[in-house]
Amino acid sequence: MKKLFAFVLAATVTTGSAFASTGSPANTTDTKAVANFKADYNDVSAVWNVNSNYSEVLFFWHNTIMDAYYDKDGNLVGTFHNIKATELPQDTQHQIATWYKKYTVKDAVVMEKDGEDPVYYVTVESPAHIRILEVKSDGSINEFKTIR
């Protein structure tokens, strides 16, 4: 599950704004994911990317580009969207500035799932390293992944 989540996060961080088609996935039998998506986001145009492990849905929601992922059983893994670094909790901004003084915040993504607190993923970069930090609702910060 952590590998799937890492892929989901990487895809979300690098996703551009290429919305070329709309509707439901044409080549999938994963009707549960489609039904779950439509139940949450009725009448929203979306772009689907489906493979044997997950279904990804790119869509606009309240003027925000969203990315939703469903597992192979059609259950929601989570929704992701970019935020400004200034939208992170104040304590988190302060901790990152203190602990990662030689780094620049490059990207911030929030993952949300029904019934759970949001989790933030913050990409920080220095001349030598790129790290993705995981920030939980209790304020704890962990290095989720080191890219270089």
Q: What is the pLDDT of residues 32-90, one digit of tens each?
A: 999 999 998 988 989 999 888 899 999 999 999 999 999 999 999 999 999 999 999 99
Residue 56 sits in which domain range?
1-79
Spatial distance between the Cα atoms of 81 and 146, rounded to a whole number of angstroms:
21
- The full DSSP string for 59-70 is EEETTEEEEEEE
What percent of the chain has a predicted confidence (pLDDT) above 90?
66
- Whether 63 and 96 map to the same domain: the answer is no
Amino acid at 2: K
Residues 71 and 89 in one domain: no
Indicate if the pLDDT at residue 12 is higher than 50. no
Residue 78, CA distances (Å) to 30, 37, 54, 103, 115 in order = 17, 11, 12, 28, 11
Please say which residue of 19, 52, 79 terminates a domain.
Answer: 79
For position 43, what pLDDT does the model report?
84
Distances 144 to 12, 22, 68 between C-alpha atoms, Å: 15, 33, 20
Q: What is the pLDDT of residue 1?
A: 45
Paired with 130 in beta bridges are 125
As a whole number, the mean pLDDT across the chain is 84
Q: What is the pLDDT of residue 13?
A: 46
Domain boundary among 51, 79, 107: 79
pLDDT bucket at 19, cuts 50 / 70 / 90: very low
| Claim to verify: residue 55 and residue 127 sit in the same structural domain | no
